[in-house]
Structure 1
Amino acid sequence: MISEIARRVTELSLNDLTPQARDRLELCLLANLSVGVAGVPYCRLPVPIEEGGRYPLLSGGAALMARDAAFYNAAVMHARTQDDFDPIGNLHAGTVIIPALMAVAEDTALSGKQFLEAIAAGYMVAIGISRFLSPRTTPRGVRSTGYYAPFGATAAVARARGLDATLTGHALALTTVFAGGTTQAWLDGSDEWQLHVANAAETGIKAVDLALAGVTGGKHALDGPAGFHASLLNERVTFDMISADFDPSRALEESVIKRYPVSGICQSVVLAAERVCEQIGDTAAIAQIKVEMNPFEMGYPGTLNKGPAFRAFGERLMSAPFCVSAVLARGALHFPDFHGATDPTRDRLLPVVDVVADKRRPILSAKVSITMRDGRTLTGETQDSRAEVRLDWSTVMDWGHALWREAGREGSAFDRCADAVRSLQRASKVELFPKQ
């Protein structure tokens, strides 16, 4: 398995991607950079040593060490949980891959095309591994981003630094040592979820450094009888069983860019709640709220968090009851609600929210039904949040400007970043945040 994955990483070309995937790649890059810029105030991890640093940080400074920059930037990019995600693999790839490559680009003479190819390789591997495993391991508390995204970071860094298939294979095997993380943080209101992405990004650089230093990884570290897959599933998995998932175009085209700073699962809940808001009138007349969801999404740890005491952002962003109550109380999503802002209307609505499973409902969909005190039932529904909240080049500019303004950055800085991303395929070097 490792040798086949490594071969695909080394052979991938931007020309292999569909036009839609190449466009999506640039869009994902710009979106993740933007939520990273806006995520600085919400990062729970310390800023790395900056004195004498040259590895750019999303906070505007520069870290002394490449691994430290990747570690911190990944946490910042994920701090609003607004970075893109794969709904089947249940993981965040971009927020791990991009920070690792930002650091590597400072030491490697990468063209823009090579940078994009490395990102595509990372998405292919992270999502290729996770799509088979995640539906089986997520219900047990395994966080896919912590376990499977590190392989994407390693693949991306190996590609960017020009490793051959043999060394890439060693680096991928060594990644099994550092992969890990559970979803208990969503239930405890703790900060491990930011460490998951930080560790994953740093792992990409560390595993490649080790491989280049001559440290070897097992040929069957993934598919062996005591390897990664067997340890998680208690069964052998061959590459033939998962090869169809290693499609870089599909990985990019099916990524979900989040319009809202809540969990990927709750994107559909927020949109459905917003759609029913205009029908309500007086929120005091609400008697009962029902949220219908896909059973797998409903069962994701944290989705049923109901409080009444929420200790941290991590508990609120995952909670379907909190999301729907907050939106109905204000008529739209108000981000400060998720960071401790008080709202008596929201607090009154929370206890009357009932989340139920609908086996016929696909992922990325939700229905919010409100029973009023006069007996009327009002509904709002999302059929496919990936399509219905989809950001494209006609909408991402306004969305991105808003995020950069929120971070106190000038709109012209966002415009320069957007221009840099759009011109990467022709650029001789990587410069994502050009000065005036």
Structure 2
Amino acid sequence: MTDFTASLAAFAVGPISTTSQARIVTSLSVLDWIAVGRAGANEPVSSIIREMVLEDGGNVQAHLFGGGAAPLRGAALVNGAVSHALDYDDTHFAHIGHPSVAILPAALAVSEWDDRILVDLLEAALVGMEISIRVGLWLGRGHYQVGFHQTATSGAFGAAVAAGRLLGFDTNKMRSVLGLTATRTAGLKAQFGTMGKPYNAGLAAAAGVETALLVQRGFQANADALEGPFGFGATHHGTSDPSALDGLNDEWLFESVSHKFHACCHGLHAALEAARQLDVAEPEVAEIKIKTHPRWMSVCNQLTPETGLGAKFSYRTVIAMQALGYDTALPGSYTDKVCADPRIKSLRDRITVEADDSLSETQAQLALLRRDGIRREATHDLLTPMSLPDREDRVRAKAAKLIGAEEADAIWSMLRTGGRARDLASKLAG
């Protein structure tokens, strides 16, 4: 057994030393995940996958976003896809993956079925999300750049580990589930911009549940299939970076997960946060100049989008929306009508976007020239640590906008005071 798989397995089954911040950030991600899942439950991709799974029938084992219940694998598939339908879930920039939509559907399905307490769910989810990040780092940026979707690939390993921990796996079984997942995980960036992208998240969650259930039944697999000569890393452009293990169980990389506070491409968020610092308001704007990392120029720099979906990938449009008082945190703000608004068009024409390779992928710089001649500038980095009180305030405010303050408060109270996973799962339907 090679070192990386053995280290992951030992960590996954052993006692863990969680920090207060790791526990709170995990709870916030669960609240955020439920809120965006409920908000996306009626998206076309959500309805298609949910209907397919419900038509298959089978044992009613776990609740679904949008209503109904299904067997574990089907529930994980549905809930993973639905919660990524709006692309409004959390992101970890270390490996560019979305941890919650891959791991939480698997962890919650198994926890509900096995009638576990919320503490068990949160602990397993945290371990699974941490491992998804570590696997993503081990695979390296080349794995992502060549076309693999880290949410789907590294996410599946995290989902399997979370499920295996809840099922009481020992080290040998955890090694086996990591090896079996290596032959099951898949997902391509070629699906970006289609229903295939949220489907990738569902695939990861379902694969994790499936491999864990098989190993629980005694299924034998090559435990070295993640990192062996013909393993997943070797065959999927992995770099096998040993530093991915640095600080494991002493440092929780998941603590630095980035929650989305605007319902648009994450590449736009640093610019929107910089605009918040300047308190940009349309009446005083003469012109705005945005500088961003070159990577985003081909991703979210649509100059004159005509659709709500296009607006979610347009620096000029979202900054104009924010300056004109549109709530960029609400998915419903991004419409075709907004793109046709003469005020948006007028302000958009005063905004320019430039690439600046001195900025990181998580940074943006915004320069505002006011009508009175005063120039102001702000730079924001999404990796800048956010205090726990600020993070809690913003995640809870986002959830309140998406599902209502009463529901958001009830879910948060449940997560912080404890209870059973099945009670939390009952909140998925809304």
TM-score normalised by the shorter chain: which range applies? 0.7 to 0.9
Which residue is equivalent to 1:302? 299
Q: Amino acid of the residue matched to residue 280 of structure 2? A: E
Q: Distance in 2 between matches of 1:245 and 1:179?
A: 26
Which residue is equivalent to 2:336? 340
Match among 212, 224, 228 for residue 224 of structure 1: 228
Q: Amino acid of the residue matched to residue 335 of structure 1? A: P
Q: Normalised by the size of structure 1, how large is the TM-score?
A: 0.83
Q: Distance in 1 between matches of 2:176 and 2:108?
A: 22
Following superposition, the deviation at residue 35 of structure 1 comes to 2.0
Gaps of 5+ in 1: 406-410
Q: Distance in 2 between matches of 1:224 and 1:379?
A: 50
Following superposition, the deviation at residue 157 of structure 1 comes to 0.6
Identify which of structures 1 and 2 has the higher relative contact order when contacts are C-alpha pairs closer than 8 Å and 6+ apart. 2
Deviations 1:251-293 (A, max 9, x none): 231111222222333221222234446354166x54xx43212
Following superposition, the deviation at residue 199 of structure 1 comes to 0.7
Which secondary structure does the structure 1 equivalent of 2:392 belong to?
Answer: coil
Residues 432/248 of structure 1: CA separation in 2 closer, same or farther (3 Å cut): farther
Which residue is equivalent to 1:423? 417
Residues 168/316 of structure 1: CA separation in 2 closer, same or farther (3 Å cut): farther
Residues 121/324 of structure 1: CA separation in 2 closer, same or farther (3 Å cut): same
Following superposition, the deviation at residue 11 of structure 1 comes to 0.7
After superposition, where does 1:24-423 map in structure 2 within 5 Å? Answer: 24-42=25-43, 44-45=45-46, 46=48, 47=50, 48-49=53-54, 53-59=60-66, 61-186=67-192, 189-233=193-237, 237=240, 240-244=242-246, 246-247=248-249, 249-276=251-278, 278=280, 280-281=282-283, 285-286=286-287, 289-295=288-294, 297-298=295-296, 302-306=299-303, 308-309=305-306, 313=309, 316-330=311-325, 332-333=327-328, 335-342=331-338, 343-347=341-345, 353-370=351-368, 377-384=375-382, 387=385, 391-405=390-404, 411-423=405-417
Following superposition, the deviation at residue 247 of structure 1 comes to 4.5
After superposition, where does 1:7-26 map in structure 2 within 5 Å? Answer: 7-13=10-16, 16-26=17-27
Q: Amino acid of the residue matched to residue 2 of structure 1? A: T
Following superposition, the deviation at residue 203 of structure 1 comes to 0.9
Identity %: 22
Q: Normalised by the size of structure 2, how large is the TM-score?
A: 0.84
Query: Aligned Cα RMSD in Å?
Result: 3.1
Q: Amino acid of the residue matched to residue 431 of structure 1? A: D
Which secondary structure does the structure 1 equivalent of 2:119 belong to?
Answer: helix
Which secondary structure does the structure 2 equivalent of 1:70 belong to?
Answer: helix
Q: Amino acid of the residue matched to residue 55 of structure 1? A: A
Residues 324/168 of structure 1: CA separation in 2 closer, same or farther (3 Å cut): same
343-352 or 194-203, which deviates more: 343-352
Following superposition, the deviation at residue 201 of structure 1 comes to 0.9
Superposition misfits of 4+ residues, deviation over 6 angstroms? 372-376
Following superposition, the deviation at residue 329 of structure 1 comes to 4.8
Which secondary structure does the structure 1 equivalent of 2:198 belong to?
Answer: helix
Residues 248/414 of structure 1: CA separation in 2 closer, same or farther (3 Å cut): farther
1-10 or 223-232, which deviates more: 223-232
Which secondary structure does the structure 2 equivalent of 1:278 belong to?
Answer: coil
Following superposition, the deviation at residue 29 of structure 1 comes to 1.6
Residues 112/265 of structure 1: CA separation in 2 closer, same or farther (3 Å cut): same
Q: Amino acid of the residue matched to residue 38 of structure 2? A: V
Residues 335/120 of structure 1: CA separation in 2 closer, same or farther (3 Å cut): closer
